[in-house]
Chain A
Amino acid sequence: MEALYFVPEMLFYVISGLILLSSIMVVAARNPVTSAIFLVVDLFFVAALYAQLDAHFTAAIQVLVYAGAIVVLFVFVIMILNLKPDALRGIRFSLGEALVLLITLAGFVIVGSELARTAPDLTTPGNLGSAAIEMAGGNTYVVAMRMFTAFLWPFEMASVLILLAIVACVMIAKKDKRVTKS
């Protein structure tokens, strides 16, 4: 069985390549709808990466929440505003932006080479393999147990924060309406 680890490893490189490609396309595409669709593709492949790590629960939630709900709203807004490709400028860099890009690339190269140098042996499964997850009672069980015992308060605080954001959004939207009426 050990000899078959090349299949997941190859898959990992393919998926990572697709993630990189679609991420670049999100930024580079001139049409906002194209960007949004590449964002969906991007999120989908990130979910594939999670699934490859045996984190099926996280993978499913990733697609359900991000690709299935949040980006749909992006697409909606783009369609309703009817943004034309011309409304956005193409890729042109000012001096400052070019500098930032260069520094980012340099940082990427440094971190990447450091990671490559100290990379663990990828051919042996770690202690979070599929067998270990199965033993612990499955993905969903483990996530739920951690979330609702050890991390209950942070989790609830996060949901309150999100609720706050929703209420704030409603308030802002309402205020706008009153101004236009008067």
Chain B
Amino acid sequence: MGMNLGIDFSSLLQWNDFTVDLAAFAVKFAILVGGLLQLPPLLVWIERRVPALMQRRRGPNRVGIFKWRLYGLLQSLADTVKLIFKEEVVPDGAHKVFYHLAPVFCVFPAFLVACAIPYGPDLAIYGYKIPLSVVRMDVGFLFIFAISSLAVYGVALAGWASNNKYSLMGSLRASAQMISYEIPLGMSLIPIVLIYGTLDLGKIVEAQNSFFQWGVFTAPVSLLIFVICMFAETNRAPFDLAEAEGELVAGFHTEYNSAKFAAFFLGEYVSMFVLSCLASTVFFGGWQVPFVSYDALVTMLGSPNFVAPIGILMLLLKAAFFMWVYIWVRWTLPRFRYDQLMFLGWKFMLPIGLANVVVTAIVLAVLRFK
């Protein structure tokens, strides 16, 4: 057996492909997680100010620093502090281990999936090429679906471990919904894979180099299906049947409070962000700047390292649009009934998704035959 591992630590003390990869991974991961943790407070604030704007109310506008109110931006900070310092109540009949594990199962996949999104073009530092996604792999697409399919366990366990019938009902609804809509979500992206011929998200973005090669033009039906499934996947209105407060109190997190309740929020907002990023990456060119090709930008600015910040900004802007749509739709459309939701998923979205795949495949085959 190779028990003599022959450890040579000297190779860890100099820059080579391995150590550069390791260091870059650590830095990118730290920045990503640090950034994602800032999301929920900001989004909660937006989610309270935007409907206030829509409904001619004021919304939270008081909490700021000293005399600066900052439009109530620090309300979320105050809420977070309150949530963390609240007393934690665990229901008597709860399954202790799974009750505590469920929020982890919710947060972990969301952060892991965020690692696969390409946030910008490759950096070139001292001859080493550093991709601007935490991990770049040739099956990025499948990785995202594989890991995000694990989020169901968080929801299912939370409801089951709480030992509360409303929680269980909510979690059954939520997980059934997530499983049902995962299929059309995957179906909607198969045409993209067919068109660009790769499962590597980085290469898909590179292929959308000119404006009219964006996924929104090459696969418009896919975009429609994807956006609808996006709402269902994250259990957001109008598909938030899992937490229909009139019937189920608060759904699967009825029995959760303090920091664990906040963790569910974190998971939900991060997965919203990830799906928004994925939608922008696949359908709106990712980090590509509209009407200007990447090569033109590099020659204009002199170095790919200067293009990277612009790319990141572009992706974040595009993702911000989808996040806005999330909130916009929530305060515009009423909730579906549960049977309508399942009907839509299985009898409408899935057949359209399948037809979309077949039609795209035929069109591509005909185009390539010529």
- List residues of chain A with CB under 8 Å of any chain B CB: 1, 3-7, 9-10, 31, 33-34, 37, 40, 44, 47, 56-57, 59-64, 67-69, 72, 75-76, 79-80, 116, 119, 121-123, 138-140
Partner of A3, one of B8, B149, B168: B8
**Is B98's beta carbon under 8 Å from chain A?**
yes
Given A6-B7, A76-B175, A79-B172, A69-B150 contact (CB < 8 Å) = no
Report A60 CB to chain B, min CB distance, Å.
4
Report A163 CB to chain B, min CB distance, Å.
15
Does A67 contact B150, Cβ atoms closer than 8 Å? yes
Partner of B98, one of A6, A7, A37, A140: A37
Residue of A nearest to B4 (CB): A123
A179 to B8, CA, bound (A): 71
Q: List 20 A-B contacts (CB under 8 A).
A: A1-B11, A1-B18, A6-B6, A9-B2, A9-B5, A33-B98, A33-B157, A33-B160, A56-B137, A56-B139, A60-B146, A67-B149, A68-B145, A72-B156, A72-B175, A75-B153, A79-B168, A116-B1, A121-B2, A139-B139
B: number of interface residues (CB 8 Å)? 37
Does A140 contact B199, Cβ atoms closer than 8 Å? yes
**Is B147's beta carbon under 8 Å from chain A?**
yes
Does B6 contact A4, Cβ atoms closer than 8 Å? no
Does B18 contact A4, Cβ atoms closer than 8 Å? yes
Number of A-B contacts (CB under 8 A): 102
Sample of 6 further A-B pairs with CB below 8 A, known A4-B8, A34-B98, A123-B2: A1-B17, A3-B8, A4-B12, A9-B5, A40-B153, A139-B138
Contacts of A47 in B (CB 8 A): 146
Contacts of B168 in A (CB 8 A): 79
Residue of B nearest to A36 (CB): B153
Report A79 CB to chain B, min CB distance, Å.
5
Contacts of A75 in B (CB 8 A): 153, 156
Report B233 CB to chain A, min CB distance, Å.
13
A12 to B2, CA, bound (A): 12
**Is B142's beta carbon under 8 Å from chain A?**
yes
Partner of A72, one of B6, B16, B146, B179: B179
CB-CB contacts of B181-203 with A at 8 A, as 1s and 0s? 01000000000000000010000
